[in-house]
Amino acid sequence: MHSNIVGGSTAKRVINCPGSVTLVQKMPPKLGGDAADQGTLCHNAMATLLNDPSLEIKSVLGMTENDQVITEDLIDEKIIPAMAALTEIDPDGDMEYQIEAHVNFGNLLPNVFGSADLIGRIDDCAIILDWKFGRGEVDVEENEQLLFYAAAAMRTKGLEWAFAGVSEVEMVIVQPPAVKRWTTTVARVKQFERDLVHAVTASQNAAAPLKVGDHCRYCPAKPICPQMTGAAERALKVQIKELDPAKIGAYLATADLVEKWIGDLRDLAHQILESGEPVPGYKLVPKRALRQWVDEDKAYAALTKLGVDREELVETALLSPAKVEKILKKSKLNLPDDIVVAVSSGTTIAPESDPRSAVVFLPEQMKTALLKLG
């Protein structure tokens, strides 16, 4: 958790684009997904293990975060390599550390705070460590998130022990199985702090500057950013035949950014429509329905009664209706209608002109009443 002004994960954006602070504060909360939940789950598992060194690694098996669960595979692929990384960083077990450390800037930057995964110290070296359990590559050198944690930790009461008299500060990113390390100085951290103070001060100005760049990648305000919307509108007016190869190459360099903006815009429209608010010209419709078994046991019984061999029907579980239908076609048999049901996997946004009927969302009061009737 971090401040709604700037935190570790948003420091790069705010320093490069102070105007983004006000825009982001206007956006609805961004909903997490499976990847975010899995990352939170792995962080929680690491905190559990490091807070009680007597625990075995397998003790976190079965921990949950929403629909995500710590499995044997997740332990093997993420947790064990992350724990092994600590041995590489601290081979003699001398490091003093604090897990999930709340850090802040005190009166220098009121209401600016964050949570560092690990603040530690070995001899005269302070250590700032961040777990990364996602797939995207993250560089450690000049990493603004780690510099933010270091600068804030230096001003946080209760963490003085980590920085008193140190000669260097080591930044570490553990992204299993990789361990990335960068050693810098207290002076570099203090320079970052000055840059951050300048950006946060600028962000409070109504005319705070906006700037497009790679720092926009995870900015939730892209759909309403004047810089982004202006760039998209201009791009629509450009005719390909008028571009020379050099210009095409220049546009390709920003293609990923524009594509991400389009995706975020669609996600925002979807979120607004799901909340019951209109988006003129658009509606929500069901995604393509996928067939499922009404009851696997009954389906298995019905299929074996048709003479289908059990080994053809089952791998680790009963095969999907689509796969079973292919097997039945070999014997010129039809899949019984009463053992399958078509279930939509969710909703998607579509123009009002789309022939599919719009999804109707019941008010919460009506949902409650129906549940009581049931």
Q: pTM of the entire structure?
A: 0.68
Answer yes or no: do 178 and 288 share one domain: no
The secondary structure of residue 23, as a DSSP letter, is H
Answer yes or no: do 148 and 288 share one domain: no
Q: Confidence class of residue 345 from pLDDT cuts 50, 70 and 90?
A: low
Q: Confidence class of residue 194 from pLDDT cuts 50, 70 and 90?
A: very high
Q: What is the pLDDT of residue 143?
A: 96
Least Cα distance to 179 among 131, 211, 144 occurs for: 131
Token pair belonging to 286 = 């069901």
How far apart, in whole angstroms, are the C-alpha atoms of residue 100 and residue 371? 40
Cα-flanking dihedrals φ and ψ of residue 89, to 5°?
-75, -35
Higher pLDDT, 123 or 360: 123
Q: Confidence class of residue 243 from pLDDT cuts 50, 70 and 90?
A: low
Q: What is the pLDDT of residue 38?
A: 92
Position 134 in a domain = yes
Residue with tokens 């804030």: 152
Q: Residue 358 is part of which domain span? A: 284-373
Range with the poorest average pLDDT among 110-124, 126-140, 220-234: 220-234
Beta strands in the chain (DSSP E): 64-65, 68-69, 96-104, 113-122, 125-131, 168-175, 178-184, 282-286, 289-293, 340-344, 347-351
Per-residue CA distances from 309 to 85, 152, 170, 229, 313 (Å): 49, 65, 62, 58, 7
Position 245 in a domain = no
Answer yes or no: do 186 and 73 share one domain: yes
Token pair belonging to 136 = 């995207």
Stretch 199-212: mean pLDDT: 94
Q: What sections of the chain are H helices per DSSP?
A: 11-16, 20-25, 34-51, 72-74, 80-89, 144-154, 186-203, 226-237, 245-253, 255-274, 296-305, 310-313, 321-330, 364-373
Write down which residue in 203, 218, 241 finishes a domain: 203
How far apart, in whole angstroms, are the C-alpha atoms of residue 36 and residue 167? 36
- What distance separates the 2 farthest-apart alpha carbons in the chain? 81
How far apart, in whole angstroms, are the C-alpha atoms of residue 119 and residue 95? 10
> Residue length, the chain?
374
pLDDT surpasses 60 at 306: yes
Answer yes or no: do 166 and 302 share one domain: no
pLDDT tens-place string over residues 5-26: 999 999 999 999 999 999 999 8
Q: What is the pLDDT of residue 372?
A: 52
Q: Confidence class of residue 308 from pLDDT cuts 50, 70 and 90?
A: confident
Q: What is the pLDDT of residue 83?
A: 94
How far apart, in whole angstroms, are the C-alpha atoms of residue 290 and residue 296? 15
pLDDT surpasses 90 at 242: no
Answer yes or no: do 292 and 189 share one domain: no
Answer yes or no: do 194 and 292 share one domain: no
Mean pLDDT of the chain: 86
pLDDT tens-place string over residues 24-43: 998 888 777 888 899 999 99
pLDDT surpasses 70 at 275: yes
Answer yes or no: do 41 and 179 share one domain: yes
Q: What is the pLDDT of residue 365?
A: 47
Answer yes or no: do 170 and 24 share one domain: yes
pLDDT tens-place string over residues 250-269: 777 777 777 888 888 888 88
Q: What is the pLDDT of residue 1?
A: 58
Number of H helices, E strands in the chain: 14, 11
Answer yes or no: do 190 and 318 share one domain: no
Answer yes or no: do 23 and 165 share one domain: yes
How far apart, in whole angstroms, are the C-alpha atoms of residue 342 and residue 359? 16
Rounded percentage of the chain residues whose pLDDT exceeds 70: 90
How far apart, in whole angstroms, are the C-alpha atoms of residue 301 and residue 111? 63
Stretch 327-354: mean pLDDT: 80
Q: Is the dihedral of CA 111, 195, 142, 215 positive or negative?
A: positive
Q: How many whole angstroms from its chain centre is CA 229? A: 23
pLDDT tens-place string over residues 75-90: 999 999 999 999 999 9
Stretch 161-167: mean pLDDT: 94
How far apart, in whole angstroms, are the C-alpha atoms of residue 282 and residue 257? 24
Q: What is the pLDDT of residue 367?
A: 47
Domain harbouring 177, CATH code = 3.90.320
3-class DSSP state for residue 293?
Answer: strand
Write down which residue in 161, 188, 203 finishes a domain: 203
Position 249 in a domain = no
pLDDT surpasses 70 at 304: yes
